[in-house]
Chain A
Amino acid sequence: MNIAADAHTEGPSSYVRAAELELREVSKRYPGQLIPAIEKLSFTVPAGEVCVLVGPSGSGKTTAMRLINRMIPISGGDILLGGRSVLDRNPRELRREIGYVIQQIGLFPHRTIEENIATVPRLLGWPKARIDARVAELWDLIGLRKDELSGRYPAQLSGGQRQRVGVARALAADPPLLLMDEPFGAIDPINRARLQDEFLRLQQQVRKTVVFVTHDIDEAIKIGDRIAILREGGDLAQYDTPAEILRSPADEFVAQFVGADRGIKRLSLIALEDLTLLVPDDSPRRDAPATPVPRVPLTMSGRDALSLLLTSRATHLLVVDDDGAVRGNVTVELLHRRLAEDGAAAGTSARAEPTAGGGTWVGAVSSDGLDGKRQAAEDVDGAAKARSGA
């Protein structure tokens, strides 16, 4: 399970394998504050997966992220990166091995884009030729045109371009772990969606372990392989795959946080090609006098299909592949059945296996209440009192 990658490989184009990240009962207390910012937070991010930390403000998600690269000192517990405690590491060296992207990006205004991207390789003392090769590679990776932007300063870029450069700078030294704190938070919705898609495509390519902080549950569902939902006081409410969190929220807090439309959100995780489509031949006859049936691609999400079914007058959609050949029909009923089946199947399968630390008490809150400390799940004050009493 542990895929450790402590050293950088030599060739600039060979990606260092991602490393597993494990938080073990991590706590953060600020002096003079009664309620800890983070209390015994445990979860494991398998190597190469994107873990989204999401929660309302005050839930300590950014704090949790900054504990990992020791920007904030840990009060208790331990964090393992690739099986090795970050506490044993020199903080500077540790940070050079962890990509870091923040919402305001923080590009160096006095350095050109190339110089910005080359920051960590330069700190690591790479030879110039290797740095140049790596920077050239990153231009392509982040989808910016070198001939257009080479030698420019950050002030000359658009917000989206700056964000891309920020990601390139974080990836420059091929870190096994990437920390991203609301990286798209300051971008307008259209560009944000584009950057999210780009990020997912990039992640397909580089397969880093990523800890991604956001307050936007939709972004979390779209980006995350796993989502850690935190409530106030850095308390982990649920840690699971997006599908599982939407299907069975651990408690009222999670249910409320993911929203009443979680059924529709679940459909957004399903593409039409994942469905067992209805055989198309008899349907047209039934609808013969009605409006023309919309044709939709296999890659369309269940959510968009439902939306189209609700807004068009058709009772079904024709799903066609890239060549235009009909692959089957989709109806509201089919989507509904799929969600029901999903629910039943996931209830028995071990597909969504939360890891030991995070998993043990997920769900314990509402059902058995064995853990006194977690009993008052929805009531933060109550939880705090219980904790200080314990």
Chain B
Amino acid sequence: MNMLATTGPVIPEYAKHSVSCVVHNHTFCWSWATSNWSSVLWPALRQHVYLVLIAVSIGFVLSMALALIAHRFRWFEQPTILVTTFLYTIPSLALFELLVAPVGANLYAAEIALVSYTLLVLFRNILTGLRAVPAEVLDAAEGMGMTRTQALLQVELPLALPAITAGLRIAVVTTIALATIVYTIYDAGLGVPIHIALGEGPFKTELICAAALTIGLAIVCDGLLVLTQRALTPWLRARSHGG
């Protein structure tokens, strides 16, 4: 208590509004959250979104390319599964540290690590989706004179959308969680306030806020993906109410 009181002035803003809450170290100080929103939490959240967005986008493009190759050439699947599974099993803290030596403690290292964790689930889901397209549908597409590219863009990818979205949802949620340890090599994301809070002793508000934002971000992103998929796949909801 005394220690907190003496460290209080280091962060003078909260003293103004709610000295008592911070000083008495209540489990959660709403006033701390509001007064630090724009200076601490919002920047961290924004960085977190960027970290995840970049990682999932690159991961998605890479996985899509790999899955399309494996869809065309079956032999490509096993080696890709092997490599992406290997990447997925490397302990995340170790991978972050390992990347510092060749890449440096920067955004690149962070993104390389995050991307490598998205590949397995995205690759598998995209490939599963493409393979689940019924053979007779593909036969009809070919028989009506679609080129391979037309069949892919107009038939296979749309029909694989549910599986692809399922993969994206897992990838997004896990990357949001994983990005909280990016702070170990790069000073960005919601991991930073969590780390600070852990180092600061018993004061929990910062930790709770950052954790809640992480969870909230995951739920919102997941919900957005579900809604996007629903909008893009109207045929899945159209079940026999006739004929």
Interface set of A (CB-CB < 8 Å, partner B): 69, 71, 91-97, 100, 102, 104-111, 119-120, 123, 148-149, 152-153, 155-158, 161, 169, 179
Contact = CB atoms under 8 A, between A and B. Distances in A.
* Chain A CB within 10 Å, residue with most, of B155, B234, B243: B243
B136 A110 contact: no
Nearest to A92: B145
Contact of A108 (B145, B155, B238): B155
26 contacts: A69-B143, A71-B139, A71-B143, A91-B145, A92-B145, A92-B146, A95-B142, A95-B144, A106-B134, A106-B137, A106-B139, A106-B140, A106-B141, A106-B143, A107-B140, A108-B140, A108-B141, A110-B235, A111-B235, A149-B242, A152-B238, A152-B242, A152-B243, A155-B238, A155-B240, A156-B243
Contacts, number: 84
Nearest to B161: A110
Contacts of B150: 123
Nearest to A96: B145
Contacts of B239: 155-156
B129 to A, nearest CB: 12
Contacts of A155: 235, 238-240
Interface residues of B, number: 26
A96 B243 contact: no
Nearest to A66: B143
Contacts of A119: 144
Interface string B204-243: 0000000000000000000000000000011100111111
Nearest to A151: B238
B8 interface: no
Contacts of B155: 108, 110
A104 B241 contact: no
B139 A92 contact: no
Contact of B145 (A104, A123, A179): A123
Contacts of B20: none
Given A149-B243, A155-B238, A156-B242, A110 B143 contact: no
A96 B147 CA distance: 11
Interface string B142-160: 1111110010000100110
A28 to B, nearest CB: 17
B241 to A, nearest CB: 7
B31 to A, nearest CB: 52
A334 to B, nearest CB: 45
A210 B239 CA distance: 34
